Amino acid sequence: MGDGRIPHSVGFERRRYLFCLFTVSVFVFVFSWFFFLQSAGSPHFIEHGFLPDKKLFSVVDNFKSTPRDLSKEHHESPPTIATIQDEVKEQPSACEPNKTTLKVFMYDLPSEFHFGLLGWKGTDSVWPDISNGVPDYPGGLNLQHSTEYWLTLDLLSSRFSNRRGPCNAVRVDNSSKADIIFVPFFSSLSYNRYSKVNPKEKVSLNRALQDKLVAYLRVQHEWKRSGGRDHVILAHHPNSMLDARMKLWPCMFILSDFGRYPPNVANIDKDIIAPYKHVIRNYDNDSSTFDSRPILLYFQGAIYRKDGGYIRQELYYILKDEKDVHFSFGSIRGGGINQATKGMHSSKFCLNIAGDTPSSNRLFDAIASHCVPVIISDEIELPYEDVLDYSEFCIFVRTSDALKEGFLIKLVRSITKEEWMKMWERLKEIEHHFEYQYPSQGDDAVQMIWKAVSRKVPSIRLKLNRSNRFRRSMVQMP
């Protein structure tokens, strides 16, 4: 030791210390550079995959901040990159009003036109504070025509600072900045619950509200400016707005079909067809197969109908004795919804036959059941058919062909297992387009309807611009 050399053990400890220091320094440098690039948001690095998506960091942060369930820690594996990426796919993006496709001005109609019909009693506000709870909509068959309720909720929530998920439509305060003017009248509910005349009244509440609505709209600046062409009115029940529809014909109606409208009042060029809200339960985790569904063809509902619905009774006599076919009368009473749910979930094909009007809720019950719809309704119009090819998951049969002895059953039996499975898979892919829910989710019924409305906006603008050609010269006329 007298020669001043460092013992071997001391040298080893120093080298190990320097190595550790170097490793830590490199790690800190790389980590700092990595987050610098992330915060800079370099398009080049992101585009070529050198950095993970920003959403991944938000999900990782969520894992850090969410309280852990200690009772499960020893039974569940820690989240992997794959599970985090799956979470990213499900994580709704924030609503960005400036990037929305549709700007909507909504009239502050008195609550008697909307949530007041649900029993909500406003105090100092026209609208309920839906951040603290949403007034319930009545169940049963009322729900199938509840489109107005879901769209209004979506607009009310569109400006929430903490809103997550899609917002194809956002509410604006300045009507001159809006693409459309939304009229929040729960007309289907008004018809369903208030169309009968009380003994002490001359007209029903439903009729009175329609009259008040027409009077209200005609004095509004927005209606006078456009003649109502950019106004959106919901009348999903075929009998809703029955007294006012002829007076409001320039507007855009959102309907279930055109069965009770003359073509000059409602037509596919200016109006929107919206889906019914299905009343049977969804078929979650559907792992059924062609062979595991024992019923070939299913129908349960009202058989004796008027107008175009006469075909139901004709088909009943043609099909009632066919093997593997269920064709019977049914209603929602006495457990009817549960019976229909079980029946549709057990069937390969479900009949959707015209009733009093061309459409019915049965089509959307079939979609929710992944039961391939067989549509027999020559005048039917379908929701968002300009972007959705129904022939990929539905069978269409002309009424004249369906009434031929043996035609329908032969057609259905000719469809192979492979063809059915392809349609069944497609039903599972598109069923979310027909789901009404709050909060709304990506491309569900609410968002699909807003997109359908937005596709009509250029046509509305064309009509308004053409009508303005001679406005100045008309003003100058003596």
Instruction: Kindly report whether the global pTM for this prediction surpasses the value 0.85.
Output: no
CB of 469 closer than 8 Å to CB of 182: no
What's the rounded Cα separation, in Å, for the pair 173 and 156? 12
Whether omega before 92 lies within 30 degrees of 0, making that bond cis, reads no
Q: Determine whether 68 is exposed, middle or buried from the number of CB atoms within 10 Å of its CB (0-12, 13-18, 19+).
A: exposed
- Is the pLDDT confidence value at 460 over 90? yes
Band of the pLDDT at 1, cuts 50, 70, 90? very low
Beta bridge partners of 253: 233
Listed in order, the ranges of the chain carrying CATH 3.40.50.2000 are 295-434
φ and ψ of 63, to 5 deg: -65, -35
Segment 330-348 mean pLDDT: 86
What's the rounded Cα separation, in Å, for the pair 24 and 21? 5
The pLDDT, as a whole number, for residue 123 is 74
User: pLDDT per residue over 9-23, tens digit each?
Assistant: 445 455 555 565 666
The pLDDT, as a whole number, for residue 475 is 56
**What integer best gives the mean pLDDT of the chain?**
83
What's the rounded Cα separation, in Å, for the pair 217 and 229? 12
User: pLDDT per residue over 413-445, tens digit each?
Assistant: 999 999 999 999 999 999 999 999 999 999 999
- Is the pLDDT confidence value at 90 over 50? no
CB of 383 closer than 8 Å to CB of 273: yes
3-state secondary structure of 289: coil
Q: Which helix (H) or strand (E) holds 218?
A: helix 205-218
Q: Determine whether 450 is exposed, middle or buried from the number of CB atoms within 10 Å of its CB (0-12, 13-18, 19+).
A: buried
Q: Which range among 50-64, 74-88, 156-170 has the greatest average pLDDT?
A: 156-170
CATH of 295-434, one of 3.90.1640.10, 3.40.640.10, 3.40.50.2000, 3.40.50.150: 3.40.50.2000
**Largest Cα–Cα separation, the chain:** 121
What's the rounded Cα separation, in Å, for the pair 64 and 198? 60
Distance, CA of 372 to chain centre = 20
Band of the pLDDT at 132, cuts 50, 70, 90? confident
φ and ψ of 103, to 5 deg: -100, 125
Radius of gyration of the chain (CA): 30
Segment 374-392 mean pLDDT: 97
Band of the pLDDT at 305, cuts 50, 70, 90? low
Q: Where are the alpha helices (DSSP H) in 104-184?
A: 147-157
Segment 271-280 mean pLDDT: 97
- Is the pLDDT confidence value at 83 over 70? no
The pLDDT, as a whole number, for residue 451 is 97
The pLDDT, as a whole number, for residue 27 is 57
Tokens representing 320?
Answer: 């009632």
3-state secondary structure of 194: helix
Higher pLDDT, 15 or 53: 15
Segment 267-291 mean pLDDT: 96
What's the rounded Cα separation, in Å, for the pair 416 and 434? 27
The proportion of the chain whose per-residue pLDDT surpasses 90, expressed as a percent, equals 65
What's the rounded Cα separation, in Å, for the pair 35 and 51? 10
Neighbours of 67 (CB within 10 A): 5
